[in-house]
């Protein structure tokens, strides 16, 4: 029997996919990546077995996710269309790459995913697999099978004794990891309807909560966050703590119209408290330590990196080359940034760095001014020369 490694989430689609792949003649190995999606793994493992998986492989990829995907994206200030901090998009190449590794270990000839044919995730999975091992066969059951509705899938699951909690039907499609929550479908498909409070998973109720203004301080070393409020923090607990604090304030909520790679416009809501706070702080620190030209040039790179991530092109030469550029900009992104948290937003209120390019003696309007204002005239005359009329 041909072996296939399926990226398994524990949900209805991928549970049904296990059985469906078996009927197509495959031995199915279910692969679960733990990237902090808060799913109960034990129940999911049992479900995979009952559905017919010959083996369930679970891997904790949280540390790898942070070190190899989230920090590079943070250093790049990668944000898609100005607002989406890319939690889902960043997780796909990681999951797919690990899936390829499992396929090699298990001597499987194929990999499978549970993405639909309408989204970005199918692209991200498949481009990654093709880049890493072009010989692997790729199967996309949800894109091919005969079920036309959730109800048909539930019936199929029931007929095959796959335990599905039908009562738990969520009206939204939710994808979650430590970098954020992505929510779509249901009432959100009407772009003019305000997202109901139930659409929010981490920040629910923030609007009603009575929160006091609060200061936090993030410390960076070469572009990477290493401390919070004066204490050294290991990466995962730093992100988790910022998610907790930020969620209380409703920070990092986004409601946006988004352009998918497949050409569809969609309405998405996101919650990304830690990502939002870290990106805000990181960018602010860069504006203190990077010179003007480098900073401006880097902005265009940020946008390109965000597109690359969104478009599923993580494992490409361009991404690697831009990553090298980004790393070359981060040597002095060291220092501390203070943010004031208020309901739904945070503001940077202070920043300092041993590499600060700010010179008070140059900037001041006070008595200690060291800037020779007479030099300005010659500079402006030359600056204006190409445009001067009536010469």
Classify residue 209 by its DSSP letter. Answer: S
Chain centre distance of CA 360: 37
Q: Which of 54, 173, 303, 345 binds ligand ARG (CB under 6 A)?
A: 173
SS3 of residue 190 by DSSP: coil
Which listed residue (46, 54, 173, 336) is catalytic? 173
Would you call 369 a catalytic residue per the annotation?
Answer: no
Number of Cα atoms under 13 Å in the Cβ half of residue 62: 17
Q: Which of 9, 122, 182, 353 binds ligand ARG (CB under 6 A)?
A: 182
The site for ligand ARG, by CB under 6 A, has a size of 10
Nearer to ligand ARG, 170 or 352 (CB): 170
Nearer to ligand ARG, 120 or 302 (CB): 120
Would you call 214 a catalytic residue per the annotation?
Answer: no
CB of 8 to ligand ARG, least distance (A): 15
Nearer to ligand ARG, 77 or 258 (CB): 258
Q: Where does the chain have alpha helices with state H? A: 12-23, 41-51, 62-65, 71-75, 87-105, 121-132, 141-144, 150-159, 235-249, 273-289, 292-310, 317-329, 360-363, 374-384
CB of 184 to ligand ARG, least distance (A): 5
Residue 237 to residue 250: CA distance in whole angstroms: 19
CB of 255 to ligand ARG, least distance (A): 13
Going by C-alpha positions, the residue among 40, 51, 20 that lies closest to residue 168 is: 40
Burial of 19 (0-12, 13-18, 19+ CB in 10 A): buried
Which listed residue (9, 19, 77, 92) is catalytic? 92
Longest dimension (CA), the chain: 88
Would you call 92 a catalytic residue per the annotation?
Answer: yes
126 lines the binding site for ligand ARG (CB under 6 A): no
Would you call 60 a catalytic residue per the annotation?
Answer: no
Query: Residue 62 has which token pair?
Result: 């949280």
CB of 174 to ligand ARG, least distance (A): 6
120 lines the binding site for ligand ARG (CB under 6 A): yes
CB of 210 to ligand ARG, least distance (A): 31
Site residues, ligand ARG (CB under 6 A): 88-89, 120, 173-175, 182, 184, 258, 268
């Amino acid at each position: 029997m041909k072996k296939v490694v399926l990226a398994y989430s524990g949900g209805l689609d991928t549970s049904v996919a296990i059985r469906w792949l078996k009927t197509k003649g495959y031995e199915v190995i279910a692969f679960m990546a733990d990237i902090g999606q808060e799913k109960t793994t034990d129940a999911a493992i049992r479900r995979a077995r009952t559905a017919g998986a010959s083996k369930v492989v679970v891997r904790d990829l949280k540390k790898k996710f942070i070190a190899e995907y989230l920090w590079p994206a943070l250093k790049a200030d990668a944000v898609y269309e100005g607002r989406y901090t890319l939690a889902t998009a960043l997780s796909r190449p990681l999951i797919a790459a690990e899936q390829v590794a499992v396929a090699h270990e298990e001597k499987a000839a194929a990999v499978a995913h549970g993405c639909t044919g309408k989204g970005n995730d199918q692209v991200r999975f498949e481009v990654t697999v093709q880049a890493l091992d072009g010989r692997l066969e790729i199967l996309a059951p949800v894109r091919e099978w005969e079920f036309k509705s959730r109800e048909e899938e539930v019936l199929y699951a029931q007929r095959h004794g796959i335990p599905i909690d039908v009562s738990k039907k969520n009206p939204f499609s939710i994808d979650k990891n430590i970098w954020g929550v992505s929510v779509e479908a249901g009432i959100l498909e009407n772009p003019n309807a305000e997202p109901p409070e139930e659409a929010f998973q981490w920040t629910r109720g923030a609007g009603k909560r009575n929160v006091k203004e609060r200061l936090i301080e993030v410390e960076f070393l070469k572009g990477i966050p290493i401390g919070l409020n004066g204490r050294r923090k290991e990466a995962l607990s730093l992100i988790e703590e910022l998610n907790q604090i930020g969620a209380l304030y409703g920070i990092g909520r986004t409601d946006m119209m988004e352009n998918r790679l497949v050409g569809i416009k969609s309405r998405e809501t996101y919650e990304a408290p830690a990502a939002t706070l870290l990106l805000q702080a990181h960018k602010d620190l860069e504006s203190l330590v990077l010179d003007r030209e480098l900073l401006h040039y880097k902005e265009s790179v940020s946008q390109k990196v965000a597109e690359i991530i969104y478009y599923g092109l993580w494992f490409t030469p361009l991404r690697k080359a831009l990553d090298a550029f980004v790393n070359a900009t981060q040597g002095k992104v060291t220092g501390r940034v203070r943010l004031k948290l208020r309901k739904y937003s945070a503001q940077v209120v202070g920043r300092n760095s041993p590499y600060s390019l700010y010179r008070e003696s140059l900037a001041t309007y006070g008595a200690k001014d060291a800037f020779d204002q007479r030099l300005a005239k010659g500079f402006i005359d030359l600056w204006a020369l190409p445009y001067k009329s009536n010469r």
